[in-house]
Amino acid sequence: MEPLKKNLSVVSIAAGLALALSACGEDSSATQAPAEDKAQERVEAPGGSPAATPDATEDTSSSKGDGKPDARAAVETAVAEVDNGTAVELDFSDDRKSWEVELVSADTEQEVRVSPDGSEVLGQEWLGEADEEDRSELQGAKVTLAEALGAAQQEAAGEIKEASLDDDENDIPVWEVEVRVEKERSEEVRINAATGEPIR
């Protein structure tokens, strides 16, 4: 019986070793699996660099209305804002940093504030009933304020500061346009609102 016991002992030891090795192998596979999963989850962009996430995108948009002052564009934007509106006056407000365009529509007057570059409406205000004098001057004006500004800049190159519609001594409607030709010097250019010709 002695040899049989020895054989059983050897078999038991061998079986125990096999179970232990099997357990170690499973533990090793379990610890390696997460590492492999993480490696697969890591997405690389061409060239070997990690791909950028959506949170890392850079906002390159710029704010509106911060370009070079454009009086004519400001008038056109204001006119488009008011139904059947006709611009009769323009002024740049240094305090508000915006153009103030006065318009007549039917029997009312409105003021539209526009960004310096003329691209954006910043505000609108109802001024009341249209002045009888303004309506009378508009009846004889065939040239719009925007057109008068273009004609004025052909006469005096520079930045438009303000403009308004008025009558001369012969009751002819005239656009009076102030143009800054130098840093400390401005010129007034008068445009016949009926013909578009400069009045010298």
- pLDDT tens per residue across span 59-109: 333 345 567 889 999 999 999 999 999 999 999 999 999 999 999 998 899
Could you tell me if residue 117 is inside a domain?
A: yes
Could you tell me if residue 161 is inside a domain?
A: yes
What pLDDT, in 10s, does the model give residues 177-194?
999 998 889 999 999 999
Could you tell me if residue 194 is inside a domain?
A: yes
Structure tokens at 196: 């578009």
Lowest mean pLDDT among 6-15, 65-74, 132-141: 6-15
Same domain, 180 and 103: yes
Task: Please report, for the domain that includes residue 78, its CATH number.
Answer: 3.10.450.40
Same domain, 81 and 32: no
Could you tell me if residue 57 is inside a domain?
A: no
Could you tell me if residue 60 is inside a domain?
A: no
Q: How confident is the model at residue 135 (pLDDT cuts 50, 70, 90)?
A: confident
Could you tell me if residue 51 is inside a domain?
A: no
Range of the domain at 125: 71-199
Q: How many folded domains does the chain comprise?
A: 2
Same domain, 40 and 88: no
Could you tell me if residue 66 is inside a domain?
A: no
Instruction: Record the pTM.
Output: 0.66
